[in-house]
Structure 1
Amino acid sequence: MANASPILGIDLGTTNSLVGVVDSGFPILLADAEGSRLTPSAVHYAAGGRVTVGAAALRQRALEPARTVTSVKRLIGRRAGESEWQPVYDLKALGRTPAEVSSDILKHLKGIAERALEIEVSRAVITVPAYFNDAQRNETKRAGELAGLTVERIVSEPTAAALAYGLDKLEENKKIAVYDLGGGTFDISILEMREGVFQVLATTGDTQLGGDDVDRALGEWILQSSGSSSESLDAAQRARLTVAAEDAKKKLSTESEVTVDLPFFLSSGNLSARVQRRDLESVARSLIERTRRHCQRALLDANITSSELDDVILVGGSTRMPLVRQVVQEIFGREPNTSQNPDEAVGLGAVIQAGILSGALKNVVLLDVTPLSLGIETFGGLMNIIIPRNSTIPCRAGEMFTNAVANQQEMLIRVLQGERELAKDNWELGRIAVPFPPGAKGSARVGVQFAIDANGILQVLARDTATNTDTVLEIQNSAVDVDDEKVEKMIAESVDFAFEDMNERIWTEARLKSEELLRAVDEALEQCAGLVPEDEVEKIKIAAHDVRHVMQAEPHDARALKAANQALDDATQQLAVLLVERAMEAALERKLS
């Protein structure tokens, strides 16, 4: 580390949060034990007092919506009832304040960093929407302190995004707009970059506008299109509907139509609706149009016209919606810049600000970029990207993997380069075999880290976490020294075969899930024989039969298989609860005996 006491950069988001640090002079975002850099901003408070944060908490939302807190950023620093949006959970009943819930998320992020860095950390920079008032900023700072962090600075999200965008443009003079539409908040900022100095000229926004509102509006539309009303829904149904609407919204960024299926959702039976992109845009347009006046106000406050801007940067997951990009283009009269990862730009900027404060980013030198993505082959023959193409080097990234089948004695890691969805269509740079003791599926844990140094040398490190045994493969120059013609050919093929490749990936992922589900259901039915009502067992068997039927059908229908998987998943919810109860009873008996 460049500093014995590093400062963390944290994006405390409405939907997702990130944590990172400057390592060896370069800003990096840190992944959790599952290899994910994005941590859902969700906290589940179990009746017994157990606190769960992140993806595991989010999975509880449909089962226990009253105990699962999401989008708490919309409530922080506000008096009861002040927020336009009111959640299905009651923080007072849970004995928590918004700052305390936020502190639980921050504790989790702090833990991710400490595991990755293998040292204790106690300092952080935390981002907030530019339009947060003093109360909201102070409560965010208090959340950090409750998590055991000294908050060195609260940074506005658009400023952080501008830092991420401008780190390799320090010598340039530019005026840019940062349009940040996240899960719960919207910001627009006009900034001027001059010789490495970032000055905010104007900022405005809406702390009660974001992707969450689109999800709820689309959920309401889905319900109405099926002839139902939201008035009769309980909290669990509302949560399921919102999750389904969010999933549909994400898919409609790349697809023109999706089908939403919610088995046994209503007393009258299943809920099924076809949603086209134009339906989503019709529902969302009034919400997205609310950003227009803020953009115009920011330009007016900055005393510039849109034609004087050098760039309009899109930040926040909601900017992936084609409608948002269209509206932004209309407002500013130019194609928006989508070069930044909308989910990670703010987090990366927070890390850069932290590095500046700690002195770790005194002399930043940016060199080359990776011309093609680097990754490994995962179960099912898919390409799993570790470092995306055009990543600035030096850089590093990693993920955690586990054994896909029982009694596996080693993991073969094939290092790949390319842009295709299937491993067989990319170039193999090398391979590592990592041995480990045979055990149950998921028992082995192998961390894989890719690091490209300033000389273009790719080093792949694989670590068996049980024994802390490292296997290292060094690949000279292959990471960046690729013939331009080959790069162009690979990229052209990735475009030409994009539809077929994506269909094959979706089908493969759905098939793998089907196989896993069917094995788990068969085992669960055997364990709970006689404990589940016959009509419930029959429903499960029918759903399992449907999955097997679709798996065997030709041609492959990925959408139908995903729907069948979801139906089986929903049909076995009570069975899953029963299994958990039995496991807890068995654990209690062992403890008492």
Structure 2
Amino acid sequence: MTNKSTPVLGIDFGTSNSAVGYVKSGSPYLINIEGDETTLPTAIFFDVRAQEWCIGRAANQSLIRGDEGRYMRALKSILGTSLLHERRWLGGKLVTYADIISNFLQQIKTRAETQAEQRFDHALSGRPVFFHSASETKNAKALKDLTQCYINAGFKSVEFMYEPEAAAIANGGIDKNELALIVDIGGGTSDYCLFKSADIGIDVLACNGVRVGGTNFDRSLSIDHVMPLLGHREMIRREWGNDTLRAPNHIFQDLATWSKIPSLYAEKPRELAADLHKLALNKEPFTRLITVLEEEIGHDIAFAVEDGKIETNNNGQSDIDLAFIEAQLSAQLTSEKLGKSLEEHAKNISDAALETLQLSDYTADQVDKVIFVGGSSHMKIIEQNIAPHFKGADLLYSNAFTAIIDGLAIASGR
């Protein structure tokens, strides 16, 4: 543990968005980490011409402008995997994704110190309950990886708190002896905290998590509604003979996965796309696939799908605009189609909420309030799946993007 007089920086390093805060003059304070904003996208862009990294909205803008370089997002999801330590050429030198995450955290640290006018050697970081749902070994490895990234970023020490527990600390809106369940749906994971209010702070009764979040929603929508326009599920001829088979699935799975898109901008994936085009019965979709890989616009697809998801959730339908691939190309998305694509994810999230109760001595009918946090918690299909299990509970929506950092900032001063 750090000395009480030593300032500790609370950091919400999220799959999609990040934020920082600390205790200032006895009260939690969120730092403006990008301009006047207290949150920034967990996005990274390496500018080839300037030979420098930029992060957050600046990284997004570099991608939108078409600057020459490499864009990366959702790197938190590869913690604990071998991909994190694979070396790639970038800017004339070999780097790993671990190096890139460390660079992101270092920039966060520097910005926080500049704004706060003090040094932060110690961090209190949020973490999902499970980085990887099914593997204790990968969970332990992911935590070790993230710890090392913080150390490489210049922190002398880092401690961790479950993200839903931090969100619970930030929610003072429950009465004495009320039972509340945090449902935190982030970019890469969904996490839960069952708690009661206490004389000081809260009593945490159970925490749980599942590796399903907003990026999984985007991936499924992309696979179901966009990738078929690029050749997914199309038939190709065998190189020898007259038989046909479906095009390989993995290139489309990777193109629909935020963290894996950069790996497709290499020689082998482009060669595969060219081979598929050559063997295809219907060549038009594979012409588009070649365009996407050659022009490196995979992330443009991911952003278009994300925008379509949000618009359909709000308005009932949208057209996923893909005109940057081919004039007038789009994919229609309706509430019915969205629900069908996300049905399994929503059920897994709902099941994990009920499993959280099984870790305690309480039942769903005893829960007074269900508090939704995280950007993806506003998807209507989430409430539709969870609400029927908690018929006697009030459903509340907390600050979607700052609930976790609010709690970490409070906890950093303890």
Pairwise TM-score range, normalised by the shorter structure: 0.7 to 0.9
Matches within 5 A, 1:177-326: 177-207=181-211, 209-223=212-226, 229=232, 230=252, 232=286, 233=289, 234-235=292-293, 236-266=296-326, 269-326=327-384
The one-letter amino acid paired with 1:75 is: I
The answer to whether the 8 A contact 1:44-1:68 is kept is yes
Q: Distance in 1 between matches of 2:34 and 2:69?
A: 27
Q: Distance in 1 between matches of 2:223 and 2:374?
A: 23
Q: Distance in 1 between matches of 2:161 and 2:373?
A: 15
Tell me the residue number matched to 1:44: 45
Q: Distance in 1 between matches of 2:195 and 2:336?
A: 34
Tell me the residue number matched to 2:147: 141
Matches within 5 A, 1:491-530: none
The answer to whether the 8 A contact 1:176-1:192 is kept is yes
Structure 2 residue matching 1:240: 3-state secondary structure: helix
Tell me the residue number matched to 2:407: 349
Query: In the alignment, which of 45, 52, 55 is matched to residue 53 of structure 1?
Result: 55
Structure 1 residue matching 2:204: 3-state secondary structure: strand
Deviates more, 1:156-165 or 1:44-53: 44-53
Structure 1 288/112 Cα, relative in aligned 2: closer, same or farther at 3 Å?
same
Q: Distance in 2 between matches of 1:331 and 1:108?
A: 43
Tell me the residue number matched to 2:262: none
Higher relative contact order (CA 8 A, sep 6+): 2
Deviates more, 1:111-120 or 1:302-311: 111-120
Matches within 5 A, 1:112-131: 112-131=111-130
Q: Distance in 2 between matches of 1:65 and 1:185?
A: 31
User: Percent identity, aligned pairs only?
Assistant: 27
Provide the aligned C-alpha RMSD in A: 2.7
Structure 1 65/219 Cα, relative in aligned 2: closer, same or farther at 3 Å?
farther
Q: Distance in 2 between matches of 1:109 and 1:334?
A: 42
The answer to whether the 8 A contact 2:368-2:394 is kept is no
The answer to whether the 8 A contact 1:158-1:178 is kept is yes
Stretches of structure 2 that go unaligned for 5 or more consecutive residues are: 132-138, 233-251, 253-272, 274-285
Structure 2 residue matching 1:67: 3-state secondary structure: strand
CA apart distance, 1:352: 0.7
The answer to whether the 8 A contact 2:79-2:145 is kept is yes
Deviates more, 1:245-254 or 1:188-197: 188-197
Tell me the residue number matched to 1:332: 390
Q: Does 1:70 align with 2:58?
A: no
Structure 2 residue matching 1:254: 3-state secondary structure: helix
Q: Distance in 2 between matches of 1:299 and 1:115?
A: 43
The one-letter amino acid paired with 1:102 is: I
CA apart distance, 1:33: 4.5
TM-score, normalised with respect to structure 1: 0.53
CA apart distance, 1:198: 3.2
Q: Distance in 1 between matches of 2:395 and 2:111?
A: 31
The one-letter amino acid paired with 1:255 is: N
Matches within 5 A, 1:317-466: 317-334=375-392, 337-356=395-414
Q: Distance in 2 between matches of 1:7 and 1:211?
A: 29
Q: Deviations over 1:63-86 (max 9, x none)?
A: 47982221111111223499xxxx
CA apart distance, 1:350: 0.7
Stretches of structure 1 that go unaligned for 5 or more consecutive residues are: 83-89, 357-593
Q: Distance in 2 between matches of 1:91 and 1:55?
A: 26
TM-score, normalised with respect to structure 2: 0.75
The answer to whether the 8 A contact 1:173-1:195 is kept is no
The answer to whether the 8 A contact 1:225-1:273 is kept is no
Q: Distance in 2 between matches of 1:143 and 1:199?
A: 31
Q: Distance in 2 between matches of 1:145 and 1:24?
A: 27
The answer to whether the 8 A contact 1:295-1:331 is kept is no
Structure 2 residue matching 1:284: 3-state secondary structure: helix
The answer to whether the 8 A contact 2:12-2:125 is kept is yes
The answer to whether the 8 A contact 1:76-1:98 is kept is no
The answer to whether the 8 A contact 1:20-1:28 is kept is yes
Structure 1 105/227 Cα, relative in aligned 2: closer, same or farther at 3 Å?
closer
The answer to whether the 8 A contact 1:211-1:318 is kept is yes
CA apart distance, 1:225: 7.4
Q: Deviations over 1:423-442 (max 9, x none)?
A: xxxxxxxxxxxxxxxxxxxx
Q: Deviations over 1:469-522 (max 9, x none)?
A: xxxxxxxxxxxxxxxxxxxxxxxxxxxxxxxxxxxxxxxxxxxxxxxxxxxxxx
Q: Deviations over 1:56-115 (max 9, x none)?
A: 223344647982221111111223499xxxxxxx76444334433222222222222222
Structure 2 residue matching 1:9: 3-state secondary structure: strand
Q: Distance in 2 between matches of 1:283 and 1:251?
A: 15
Tell me the residue number matched to 1:161: 167
Q: Distance in 1 between matches of 2:145 and 2:14?
A: 14
CA apart distance, 1:158: 0.6
CA apart distance, 1:160: 0.2
Structure 1 336/180 Cα, relative in aligned 2: closer, same or farther at 3 Å?
farther
Tell me the residue number matched to 2:264: none
CA apart distance, 1:302: 1.0
Q: Distance in 2 between matches of 1:218 and 1:336?
A: 30
Structure 1 175/121 Cα, relative in aligned 2: closer, same or farther at 3 Å?
same
